[in-house]
Amino acid sequence: MIARFFRSLLHAFKTPWVLALGLVLLLILLVWLLGPLVAVAGYVPLEGVIARLVATVLLIFCWGLFVALSASRRRRKELDDPEAARAYERAEEHKMQLRDELRHIRERLKTAVKTVTTSNFYGPKGRSRYALPWYLLLGSGNCGKTSVLLNSGLKFPLNEQADRHLYQLRATEHCDVLYSNEALFVDTPGAYTESRPDSPAHKAWTALLRALFKVRPARPLNGIIVCVSMRDIIDNDAPRREHLARTIRQRLSEALKRLRTYVPVYLVFTKCDAVPGFAQFFAHLSRAEREQIFGCPAKSDVMEAGSVRAELKDLMQTLNAQIVTKIHQERDVPSRGEMFRFPQELAALGSRMEEFITEAFGPSRYHRPVMFRGFFFSSALSAQDIVAATAREGELSYQTGFNATVGDYAKGFFLLRLLEGLIIPEARLANADKEHIWALRLRRYGLQAAAAALFLLAGTFLGVSFINNYSRVETLDAAYAGFSGAQKKAPLVNEPRTPLPELNIIEKATFVYDPEEDSAIGYGLGLYQGRVFRKSTQEAYLGTLNTRLMPPVRQAAARRVEAALNNPMELKNALRAYLMLCQPQHINRKFLDPWLANVWAGDYSGQAPVQADLRRHMDYLLAHGITPAEPDAELVDRARKALLRIPLAELAYQRLREEAGESGKPPFTFRAAIGQSPFNGDTQPVDYLYTRQGYEEYLIRRCPVIIRNLTGETWIFGANPILLSALDMNNVYKEVRTMYFRDYTSSWSQALKNLSVRMPASMADARKLAEELTPGMPPAVLALREVRANTRLIMENVEPGAVQAAAQEEGKRKLQQKLASKTGGKMARALTEQAAKSAEELRRDVLEAAQRDAQAVRQYFVPLDSLLDEQGNPGPALRAVQDAMTGAGEYFAGIISSDQGEQRVLHALLDLADEKNDTLRSLESAVGRLPAPVRGWYATVAAGGLRDMLNRGARSINQAYQERVIALYDKNLNARYPFDPGASRDANLDDFAAFFRSGGVLDNFHETYLRPFITRTGTLRPIMGRYMPLSSQAVINLQKANRVQEAFFMSGRELGITFLMEPHALDATLKQVNLRAAGRHLSYMHGPVQGASFTWPSDSASQAMLETIDLHGISSQTTTRGEWALFRLLRGGGIKRQEGSTCLIEVQQQGKWAQFLIQFRNRMNPFDPRVCTFNLPPSLL
């Protein structure tokens, strides 16, 4: 529908007169919008409204003339070409007919809906348009559609022509609606069915479907009755019959598609009296019998096309069963023959009917499915049939037996029960598409819901607006009450923060209403008083600020002036601020705002909310106007006298700094100058005053002006001006330059001091940092260029620019005009030229003096400036560092990318320790020749990378220590004898020997990992001044393993101890002591001493026994077993004395003792506590 609308609209726009109208409207728009902007030789013809109206009328007249000429030209063409004229007339006639047809359809359907819903005939008014079912009759011309309805026996009380027995003598030409008691029938002309897609009849058919869908969208139709004349079936023209079936199928598909519904379809074969024998066969039927159904209704929801043949067969059997009875009832012999012939003739037409039904109603992939409810036979004579038959024979020869005098010939056969008993009761079978049903429900209930929602929304908005406005009025009332209470609590104001409670309250009241932001829906629908209250509250707020806040603020400023009388640096600012607060015409917000903020920060330190409130209130007051007040004359006089005692140079320099700060120009930062870089601290600001631009703008140009203006600031210094001679001006300027260059050097020194390069966290980070510091244009070079640009304060004595020259010329012209009025033209020109020359000389003198003093700044930064050549490229020292930095980056990259991993780091550290690789040392040496702070920028690369190498090397050594030493020690030796004297398990001698012997586990680890990085004394070895982060104490403890090796091993590799043991003393209560171990026996009785030589370990060293015999001959024994049995037995006692490799051991048994003197032949004594207490450190870190 929308696409068709736009197509029609586009077609209308393409017509010449519409295009011309659009062009004219565009020209009229241009006349009114651009007409006043067009001028010809300075004259604007369309400037006035009258002129534009005349132009508009002329354009419309031209358009009308064009339309008239176009119509005249078309008429001339029609006169010259009669065929074209006739074609045009026919087309116009068809259009007119189509418009009439469409109007007729709309009127008929509109009348039908009105009749159904409002007519008293169908019951009470106000019924739904769906109260009665609607049916569409479809069929070819002269097939008897109208006759089927009018001769069916239904009552059509509202149709005038339905009261007659016969319908009109002419065929149905227009769509019509027949109103029966039970349903409405839409009768269509045969042209609708037989029309081609591009014909006017098809357009009318489409319009009918659209109109039906519009008037009854939920259920446009309850069924479609397709009428087919039996004469078309009898006709032997098969192509015509096939074309009729396809045409009917096409119309059904169009109806179902456009109506978006699924309705039952009934096929009625009309004019069955054309079948020979029909009249004779049914001649004896009563009226009730003629009203019955003759046909095959569907036994299920849809009659399949395949079941038509079976249905016809059953029907023929039924007819054949009646033949005998009917023949017996018939007396006329010829009629009997015709009666016998009828079933045969009908059976002969069965195949044609089957083909027709299959083609018109069968399943199709390209058409919508049809709810085919059956096919039926009927006979309803039309007026044309009767007139034709009467004209031929004077009577209906094939209706013999019919009583025409009572009108029997005008009533149909088998129609009433078909309509009343079958078709109309099945009206509820019609259903709309699911999507269409949802759309209808959405449209129906959606509109209702939308209306209800709109009503509720409107009511809600009204209520919300009322509540919001009422609540705001209450808020204002509460604010006023709070404001009054706050004023009563603090009637006297001594300091600025005292009135803050009341000011905060009234300030909030100014924001209760905001006409610009308040929603028109949320507030503007009732009681909105925003504009009135907003203005009133703002005026009250401003008045309160002037009466309650400004007096204490002025008092605080006066106290500052009083306190600064002895502080020359603060006095001028304090007096300036005080006079600004009293005399608003002198207010400078860029000065006053920071000054007040600084004062309040000192007075209310630690009270950030108070400071914020004061700043906010003061901003509003300064923006909307301060009421002037008379300053304290006595205080101002004293302050002015004190100011006059301050050196003028300090005042001038202070004013210079204030003016530069108030300019709002951004300070210099290395981040802004060189962009992203590896530098930290590059956001340290250098005030604009201490940049090259600030030097030229303020020290060169503004400083002399400021010095002169100080003598003219009468509102600060008083009415008596400060008079300075030229010599005084030069002296003041010189002192200002001295202070300026002192701060200039300090600012840049601090900025460079804060500029640093981060310490890389790893070798990869060091490599990346080296790449960042050595690109095509290194950031250090860019930073040094900025330093040079801002410390080489050399200005060429260039001519003034175009703007400056023009300003000078304008000044000379004005001065000349003033002098001419007093001295004459020639004298004025001479004086003007002389004044201009004096000003130029003064400018040059100022520039020369400033550049002489600026040499000190340049000299201070010469070490940094010398790193660049005259073109700003790196000098030799910086290039050397860049090359060394590149090598360092490649060096770190090689270590990182090595497949050997941590071993590569250890090898690299060893090369550095042995000075086999000088990459980092070269970088360190080159960096050491740079001045600070540049030296620190580059030194971090080597320092950070080497630190990571040392850390990784230490971790690698410790990991190897854990895997190769600690793991074996914990598994085989730890918590075992001899290192744990109380342990029940002994250390396996093979494991002990493999671990501690020369070339063993511990020795191999020490030689492989530790020896390259420790000195001969056992301390850590420095690498480029740095140490590997290993624990010095752990390394020292690890080296104590040599004592174990010297005590338990002979020649370092063979496990074995040889010692001589002899009795030394015996308890007096003992008679004898015997010691058996290592296959040897040592016995002692109070008498001569005889020693024995022992060797450990031995083949029989798995057991040791100590036996004591007292004076009574009682023996006691102590036995130890295992490879460490002898040591367990001997260490069970105590070491009484130890000297070198000799020790005295006392063994006790049951309170009695025996002493043995042992002399070891190994380098260390196994019983030495330094050997026995050895334990490996858990980690080397």
pLDDT at 132 over 90: no
381/292 same-domain check = yes
Cα angle, residue 744 at apex, residues 742 and 750 outer, rounded to 5°: 100
Composition of the chain by helix, strand, coil, percent to 5: 60, 10, 30
Say if 882 falls within a structural domain. Answer: no
At residue 713, the pLDDT reads 67
- DSSP letter for 681, please: S
1057-1066 β-sheet, strand order: 1092-1096, 1057-1066, 1152-1160, 1142-1149, 1134-1139
Q: Which tops the pLDDT comparison, 712 or 946?
A: 946
Closest CA to 398 of 273, 305, 581: 273
Tell me: the pLDDT tens digits for 862-911?
888 888 888 888 888 888 888 888 888 888 888 888 877 778 888 888 88
Residue in the structure block whose two tokens are 């020209």: 27
Among 865, 890, 907, give the residue marking a domain's end.
Answer: 865
Give the DSSP H or E segment for 1121: strand 1115-1121
258/382 same-domain check = yes
136/197 same-domain check = yes
Tell me: the pLDDT tens digits for 285-326?
888 888 899 999 988 888 887 788 888 999 999 888 888 888
pLDDT at 514 over 50: yes
Cα angle, residue 1016 at apex, residues 1010 and 1017 outer, rounded to 5°: 105
pLDDT at 815 over 60: no
Residue in the structure block whose two tokens are 């030394």: 1064
Q: Mean pLDDT, to the nearest integer, of 123-142?
A: 79
633/705 same-domain check = no
621/669 same-domain check = no
Residue in the structure block whose two tokens are 């077993």: 1121
Helix (H, G, I), strand (E, B) or coil at 1049: strand
pLDDT at 799 over 50: no
Q: Mean pLDDT, to the nearest integer, of 461-481?
A: 80
- Token code pair at residue 487: 């004023």
* Host domain of residue 19: 12-80
Say if 347 falls within a structural domain. Answer: no
What angle do helix axes 2-13 and 16-34 make, rounded to 10 degrees?
A: 80
Q: Mean pLDDT, to the nearest integer, of 1060-1084?
A: 86
Q: Mean pLDDT, to the nearest integer, of 640-648?
A: 76
Among 820, 842, 865, give the residue marking a domain's end.
Answer: 865
Beta strands in 957-1077, from DSSP E residues, in sequence order: 1049-1050, 1054-1055, 1057-1066, 1070-1077
pLDDT at 661 over 90: no
1055-1058 LR contacts (CB < 8 Å, sep 24+): 1055/989, 1055/992, 1055/993, 1055/997, 1055/1097, 1056/1095, 1056/1096, 1056/1097, 1057/1095, 1057/1096, 1057/1160, 1057/1161, 1057/1162, 1057/1166, 1058/1093, 1058/1094, 1058/1095, 1058/1096, 1058/1160, 1058/1161, 1058/1162
Say if 873 falls within a structural domain. Answer: no
681/642 same-domain check = no
Q: How far apart are CA 236 and CA 449, in angstroms?
A: 61
834/737 same-domain check = yes
Say if 151 falls within a structural domain. Answer: yes
217/366 same-domain check = yes
Q: How far apart are CA 1 and CA 1077, in angstroms?
A: 120
Closest CA to 493 of 572, 413, 555: 555
Other C-beta atoms closer than 10 Å to the C-beta of 1090 total 10
At residue 1124, the pLDDT reads 86
- Token code pair at residue 731: 């002296």
Phi-psi region of 107 (alpha: psi -120 to 50; beta: other; left: phi over 0): alpha
Say if 1002 falls within a structural domain. Answer: no
Give the DSSP H or E segment for 101: helix 82-118
Q: How far apart are CA 251 and CA 941, in angstroms?
A: 90
Domains in the chain: how many in total?
Answer: 5
Say if 1151 falls within a structural domain. Answer: yes
pLDDT tier for residue 1032 given thresholds of 50, 70 and 90: confident
Residue in the structure block whose two tokens are 């739904």: 128
Helix (H, G, I), strand (E, B) or coil at 178: strand
Q: How far apart are CA 286 and CA 292, in angstroms?
A: 10
Q: Which residues of 583-615 are buried (b: 16+ CB within 10 A; e: fewer)?
A: eeeeeeeebbeebbeebbeebbeeeeeebebbe
Say if 939 falls within a structural domain. Answer: no
Tell me: the pLDDT tens digits for 10-23?
666 667 778 888 88
pLDDT tier for residue 625 given thresholds of 50, 70 and 90: confident
| Contact yes or no for 1032/1020 (Cβ under 8 A) | yes
Q: How far apart are CA 31 and CA 52, in angstroms?
A: 7
Q: How far apart are CA 431 and CA 653, in angstroms?
A: 96
Among 834, 865, 896, give the residue marking a domain's end.
Answer: 865
Amino acid at 773: L
At residue 405, the pLDDT reads 39
Say if 74 falls within a structural domain. Answer: yes
Q: How far apart are CA 1021 and CA 1041, in angstroms?
A: 20
Other C-beta atoms closer than 10 Å to the C-beta of 121 total 11
pLDDT at 586 over 60: yes
Q: How far apart are CA 1049 and CA 1163, in angstroms?
A: 9
Q: Which residues of 203-224 are buried (b: 16+ CB within 10 A; e: fewer)?
A: bbbbbbbbbbbebbbbbbbbbb
678/642 same-domain check = no
Side-chain half-sphere exposure of 272, counting CA atoms within 13 A: 27
**CA end-to-end distance (rounded Å), the chain:** 87
Distances (CA, A) of 1046 to 353, 416, 1049, 1129, 1162: 126, 134, 6, 22, 7
Q: How far apart are CA 665 and CA 231, in angstroms?
A: 104
Residue in the structure block whose two tokens are 């039924």: 318
Q: Mean pLDDT, to the nearest integer, of 1008-1021?
A: 82
| Contact yes or no for 1177/954 (Cβ under 8 A) | no
Other C-beta atoms closer than 10 Å to the C-beta of 3 total 7
Distances (CA, A) of 725 to 728, 734, 850, 866: 5, 14, 20, 42
pTM greater than 0.75 (yes/no):
no
CATH number of the domain to which 1107 belongs:
2.60.40
500/615 same-domain check = yes
Tell me: the pLDDT tens digits for 485-504?
877 776 777 788 888 888 88
| Contact yes or no for 193/172 (Cβ under 8 A) | no
729/597 same-domain check = no
Lowest mean pLDDT among 150-159, 818-827, 1004-1013: 818-827
Distances (CA, A) of 812 to 22, 110, 845: 62, 94, 21
Dihedral sign (CA 1128, 1130, 1135, 1138): negative
Tell me: the pLDDT tens digits for 384-433?
555 555 554 444 444 444 444 334 444 678 888 999 889 999 988 888 77
The backbone torsions φ and ψ at residue 266, rounded to the nearest 5 degrees and listed phi first, read -120, 135
568/669 same-domain check = no
The backbone torsions φ and ψ at residue 337, rounded to the nearest 5 degrees and listed phi first, read -65, -45
CATH number of the domain to which 198 belongs:
3.40.50.300
* Average pLDDT of the residues of the chain: 81
